[in-house]
C-alpha cells in the first residue's frame, strides 16, 4: 500500500526526520504534536491550558490537511510532563473529540521535546 506524507500549507518543519502525518489507505497517522507556533515553529513555554489548545489546533490542522477532522480520530495518545495537569488537559481535549471520543491513553513522561508540557499523537480513519 502506498504511503503519502500530509503537511499543512505553511507548516513548520518537523524537529527531526519524520513526517507530520502519514496517510496509508483510509488511515492517517499523526505524529506527536507539541505547542509549536504554526508560523514560526518556535516553542515558547505557556501555561498548560494554552499549550494544550495549541497542540489540539496543531493536530486539527493536520487532520484538515488530510480532509478529516476530530470525528475521524479513532485512537489518541497523550504524553504529559506532569500528571497533575491531567484534569486540565482532559477538559480541553474533551472539547475537541466529539460525542464518540477515540480510544486513548494518557501517561506522564520524564521529558518531552523542547521541554514542553504536553504532546498528543492520533490515528484517524476515513
Could you tell me the residue ranges of all domains in the chain? 3-8+32-125
Distance CA 102, CA 73 (A): 6
**12 falls in which pLDDT band (50, 70, 90)?**
low
| Residue 91 in grid coordinates | 477538559
Contacts of 1 by beta carbon, 8 Å cutoff, 6+ apart: 24, 25
Q: Is the pLDDT assigned to residue 39 strictly greater than 90?
A: no
Distance of CA 111 to the CA centre of its chain: 17
Tell me yes or no: is domain 3-8+32-125 CATH 3.30.350.10. no
Q: What is the reported pTM?
A: 0.94
CA-to-CA distance for 51 and 34, rounded, in angstroms? 8
Q: What is the mean pLDDT of the chain?
A: 93
**Position 28 pLDDT exceeds 70:** yes
Report DSSP state, residue 72: G
Average pLDDT rounded to a whole number, residues 94-103: 94
Strand partners, 28: 23, 124
Amino acid at each position: 500500500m502506498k504511503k503519502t506524507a500530509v503537511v499543512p500549507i505553511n507548516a513548520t518543519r518537523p524537529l527531526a526526520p519524520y513526517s507530520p502525518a502519514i496517510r496509508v489507505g483510509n488511515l492517517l497517522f499523526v505524529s506527536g504534536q507539541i505547542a509549536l507556533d504554526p508560523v514560526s515553529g518556535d516553542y515558547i513555554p505557556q501555561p498548560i491550558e494554552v499549550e494544550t489548545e495549541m497542540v489540539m489546533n496543531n493536530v486539527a490542522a493536520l487532520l484538515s490537511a488530510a480532509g478529516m477532522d476530530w470525528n475521524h480520530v479513532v485512537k489518541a495518545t497523550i504524553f504529559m510532563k506532569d500528571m497533575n495537569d491531567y484534569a486540565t488537559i482532559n477538559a480541553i481535549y474533551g472539547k475537541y473529540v466529539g460525542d464518540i471520543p477515540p480510544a486513548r491513553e494518557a501517561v506522564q513522561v520524564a521529558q518531552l521535546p523542547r521541554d514542553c508540557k504536553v504532546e498528543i499523537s492520533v490515528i484517524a480513519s476515513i
